[in-house]
Structure 1
Amino acid sequence: MLGLDDEELIAAVAGAHAGEAHRFLETFDASVARRELERMGVHAACAHGSAYPVRLRDLRDPPATLFWVGSDERLASLTREPAVAVVGARRASQYGLEVGYSLGRGLGASGITVVSGMALGVDAAAHRGVLDAGGPALAVLACGPELAYPRVNRGLHGRLVGTGAVVSEHPPGQRALRWSFPARNRIMAALVELVVVVEAAEHSGSLITADLASELGRSVAAVPGRITHRGTAGSNRLLREGAMLTRGTEDVLDELFGPGARAGPDTPDPALETLGSSERSVLEQVEAGRGGPDALGLELRLSAAAVRAALGRLEAVGLVVRGALGAYERTAR
């Protein structure tokens, strides 16, 4: 549908409003539209323009016009350098959120552009990770680029506009429609060399992005999830069908540049620098799989109060999380 020309599109969808659509085309003034975009702080480039990302031309139905917020120079840089899409479930598990953030942070620290849809869950976590690392970030929206969708991500949208770019094929003011989400996924797939699916159920929109990436000749990777969790059935199926298994930033860099060709960033977690000796000992035991408070006390010969204090501190700084059965686990950060 998006590949139709103006007349074909009007015939296909306008119905009783065909006359109104034709009058709009006949009276459209490009210079007035450009001035209005400038007033709103929105940039635009049609498919033959110099600012239009070259990778989008690989699509059978590339956007006729790309709109974005953020400078022209920044968009050109973001779409010229190596890029990776990190996508996944909106209702992600704690593990999925941690992995999304960790991948975004690691790739951002490595100078890799991280592309995602700014959706709740994994998408937003990946964007926060790359922004926290000071790396290049690009969001692709299913509404006008100046609109924060969902609204709860207004702060994230502002950070992306300030240091990265937010793009869309929809003009300013256009609200998101149901069909526009799978449509925008093709843009994400085209803009990158690799799509990483962190966590996805069957029939997830993230799988649409992965399928589109495969059709375009892009690489597809997935993070393994629990086989008993329906929320990871889709991403686990990708692995079974041959997607690259991703354990972290190093695996992504190896896929982009070749094994060992580019080392991951040496970015120690600042939270680790604040730990005392007892907290470090407790963290080491949790990492070894001994995360029960009683077992920790016996292994380290610490009082129950000391174990609780150490675990509370580790949880507060985001290094551990308490599981459903009461034992603690190391987070993915």
Structure 2
Amino acid sequence: MYSEMQKYEIWLATIPGIGATHYFELVEHFGSAQAVFNEYRAGSYPLGEKTEAALLKARSPQRVDALAQRLEQRGLQALTFSHPHYPEILKSIDDPPCLLYAIGDTSLLGRPSIAMVGSRRATRYGKEMAFELAQDLAATGAVIVSGMARGIDSCSHRGALAAEGKTIAVLGCGVDVVYPPENQELYDEIAKKGLLISEYLPGAEPLGNHFPARNRIISGLSTAVILVEAGERSGALHTLNFALEQGREVFALPGNINSPNSAGTNRMIRDGAHMLLEFTDVLDELGWSYTPKAPEAAKSSGDQPHPATNPEEKQVLALLESGEFNREELAAQVDCSAQKLNTTLTMLELRGIIKQSSGGIYHL
């Protein structure tokens, strides 16, 4: 349920042409969003002809109530600037969004967070490191923030979830839109166990200009930003630029100096980013306490040697315990879709539990 004040804030923020700049100017000038609704008259504040017409047309009590009701019916949350779960850390940036749409646990926005970003066309090394770093950091209680894009973003979210930790996906489309479409299962899992947020209207398409703006929110939500792997012109570098402007700590993972996939990360280290060699480097730099991992005890013969996180992984591992299989043979015996099997095999490989030899043969 929304308070009356929040209903008017949702109303004002969703008027076409208003945007965050006009929103904050109007609220400052009139005193509140409700005062804008009650007191705005043509010419009373310079908005431009089209935006002013849109505001006057939208000014009806029925619309104010209908907007809030529609969000509730669709299972969406709207976090206005006055909402108790709107993150204080995000309010401190130069251009915070005036409204965030959310699906999931909005209380995560108040917890210590670390952003992880990188190339969509990541190498195996980059994917493995993103998964492992996110898994280790999430296990200490840090919330992992990323953009649910292909490559480094997706592996970062999956690593956090594999640790039974928490993760936030900041989308460059409507919060109810799955992009990229192959991330449907990841989207669903984050919705249940983490948080999806967006500043764009529900249903908004993933337009190219949305993603650079989205990046300022990824860094704005986080105490530190990690660049896992990125080429010289990777869009992930925009997130680091935002992070530096916002006063966040910036870390980069070194890579092969001859690899164009690591040119961006290596340059950031040269230019002053903290070099990241293990996850504790981040925690130590931030001064966050954590419990070091105890040495792994030797497993007895009765212990499960290959921990599985879901039924599909259990089926795959049970088969591989008895021998080697190719993808087609596994597909014939594992009860899941082809897409789910691909994801399962990738995650097991990234965690180092299974291996794939030449010819596409999987084994432990």
Shorter-chain TM-score: what band? 0.7 to 0.9
How much has 1:2 moved relative to structure 2?
A: 5.4
Equivalent residue, structure 1, for 2:22: 5
How much has 1:177 moved relative to structure 2?
A: 1.2
Equivalent residue, structure 2, for 1:136: 166
Compared with structure 1, are the counterparts of its residues 192 and 206 closer, same or farther at alpha carbon in structure 2 (3 Å cutoff)? Answer: same
Query: Which one of the candidate residues 1, 25, 30 is aligned to 2:58?
Result: 25
Partner secondary structure for residue 228 of structure 1? coil
Write out aligned runs for 1:168-317 (5 A).
Answer: 168-257=198-287, 261-266=289-294, 273=305
Compared with structure 1, are the counterparts of its residues 317 and 247 closer, same or farther at alpha carbon in structure 2 (3 Å cutoff)? Answer: closer
Partner secondary structure for residue 67 of structure 1? strand
Compared with structure 1, are the counterparts of its residues 159 and 323 closer, same or farther at alpha carbon in structure 2 (3 Å cutoff)? Answer: same
Equivalent residue, structure 2, for 1:75: 106
Partner secondary structure for residue 85 of structure 1? strand
How much has 1:25 moved relative to structure 2?
A: 3.4
How much has 1:229 moved relative to structure 2?
A: 1.1
How much has 1:268 moved relative to structure 2?
A: 5.5
Compared with structure 1, are the counterparts of its residues 106 and 208 closer, same or farther at alpha carbon in structure 2 (3 Å cutoff)? Answer: same
How much has 1:68 moved relative to structure 2?
A: 0.2
Q: Percent identity?
A: 37
Q: Contact conserved, 2:128 with 2:351, CA < 8 A, in 1?
A: no
How much has 1:262 moved relative to structure 2?
A: 2.6
> 2:21 is aligned with what amino acid?
L
How much has 1:141 moved relative to structure 2?
A: 0.4
Mapped to 2, the partners of 1:115 and 1:7 lie a distance apart of 26
> How many residues were matched structurally?
277
Equivalent residue, structure 1, for 2:115: 85
Equivalent residue, structure 1, for 2:72: 38
Mapped to 1, the partners of 2:199 and 2:85 lie a distance apart of 14
Equivalent residue, structure 2, for 1:150: 180
Question: Is 1:56 aligned to 2:87, yes or no?
Answer: no
How much has 1:8 moved relative to structure 2?
A: 9.4
Q: Contact conserved, 2:231 with 2:261, CA < 8 A, in 1?
A: yes
> 1:4 is aligned with what amino acid?
T
How much has 1:319 moved relative to structure 2?
A: 5.3
Compared with structure 1, are the counterparts of its residues 267 and 37 closer, same or farther at alpha carbon in structure 2 (3 Å cutoff)? Answer: farther
Mapped to 1, the partners of 2:70 and 2:295 lie a distance apart of 43
Structure 1, unaligned runs of 5 or more: 275-313, 325-333
Mapped to 2, the partners of 1:121 and 1:316 lie a distance apart of 12
Compared with structure 1, are the counterparts of its residues 228 and 16 closer, same or farther at alpha carbon in structure 2 (3 Å cutoff)? Answer: farther
Question: Larger deviation: 115-124 or 142-151?
Answer: 142-151
Question: Larger deviation: 243-252 or 20-29?
Answer: 20-29
After superposition, the C-alpha distances for 1:81-115 in whole angstroms (9 at most, x for unaligned) are: 21100111101000000000001111111111000
> 2:229 is aligned with what amino acid?
E
> 1:75 is aligned with what amino acid?
T
How much has 1:175 moved relative to structure 2?
A: 1.2
Mapped to 2, the partners of 1:6 and 1:315 lie a distance apart of 48
After superposition, the C-alpha distances for 1:47-84 in whole angstroms (9 at most, x for unaligned) are: 122221111111211111111001xxx322x1222110
Query: Which one of the candidate residues 85, 94, 101 is aligned to 2:131?
Result: 101
Q: Contact conserved, 1:249 with 1:264, CA < 8 A, in 2?
A: no
> 1:252 is aligned with what amino acid?
V
Question: Larger deviation: 111-120 or 169-178?
Answer: 169-178
Equivalent residue, structure 1, for 2:190: 160
Q: Contact conserved, 2:85 with 2:109, CA < 8 A, in 1?
A: no
> 1:93 is aligned with what amino acid?
T
Mapped to 2, the partners of 1:316 and 1:124 lie a distance apart of 12
> 1:149 is aligned with what amino acid?
Y
Question: Larger deviation: 169-178 or 87-96?
Answer: 169-178
Mapped to 2, the partners of 1:245 and 1:7 lie a distance apart of 38
**How much is the aligned-residue C-alpha RMSD, in angstroms?**
3.3
